Amino acid sequence: MSVKVTTNPTIDLLLKRRSLVVANMTNPGPSVEELRIILRCATRVPDHGKLTPWRISVIQGNARKEVGQIWGDTFREKNPDATEEQIQAEYERPARAPVMLVVSTKIESDRVPEWEQILSGAAVCQNTLVAATALGYHAQWLSEWPNYDDDVKREMGLAPEDQFLGFIYIGTAERPPVERPRPELSDVVSYW
């Protein structure tokens, strides 16, 4: 059966979705109910074995300063030659947008290959981006130096065997994102 492509809001959204650099985000962020919708959408992902091998921490309000304290202190300790300006930027990093979601693994079973469980968590991140966009917000999924720092992991409550899948910043655009070049399908798609 052939599908007639006309206007479809879901397809239009997916074709237009664009990450916004967090430096270009401002208030407002999602309301309590909008954030709940984003989180409900985020968790509707493929999950082989129904393991929910990921967790989401919501960082907003004063919690952004608490996480910033961890990041700034860790950065200062590990970068003794850093300038005060660089260190201050690390204290402020989590507060660049009204909401930051921290998505991490929570792998507790070997019934399903670990790689599939990590991919399920990546799908959580992608669904978050799409849901935020659908509600009129902008988001950016980042992996930054704290993503790979064992001291940050420990201070933020991750088990040693788990890892951050990324930090997703959500807010309102100060200015709209600029479209970037996309690959030609012929360069990345093949048909058997």
What is the tens place of the pLDDT at every residue in 163-172? 999 999 999 9
Q: What is the mean pLDDT of the chain?
A: 95
Tell me the mean pLDDT in the region 35-62: 98
Q: Measuring CA to CA, how many Å separate 168 from each of 96, 108, 111, 113, 186? A: 11, 24, 29, 25, 31
- pLDDT > 90? residue 10: yes
Question: Please, what is the end-to-end C-alpha distance for the chain in angstroms?
Answer: 20
CA gap 45, 24 in Å, rounded? 29
Q: Which two tokens stand for residue 47?
A: 């999950």
Of the pLDDT bands very low, low, confident and very high (cuts 50, 70, 90), residue 4 is low
pLDDT at res. 20? 92
Q: Where are the domains of the chain?
A: 19-173
What is the tens place of the pLDDT at every residue in 112-159? 999 999 999 999 999 999 999 999 999 999 999 999 999 999 999 999
pLDDT at res. 37? 98
pLDDT at res. 112? 96
- pLDDT > 90? residue 28: yes
pLDDT at res. 1? 54
CA angle 108, 110, 112 (to 5 degrees): 110
CA gap 130, 18 in Å, rounded? 9
What is the tens place of the pLDDT at every residue in 129-139? 999 999 999 99
pLDDT at res. 178? 86
Strand partners, 101: 58, 168
Query: CATH for 19-173?
Result: 3.40.109.10
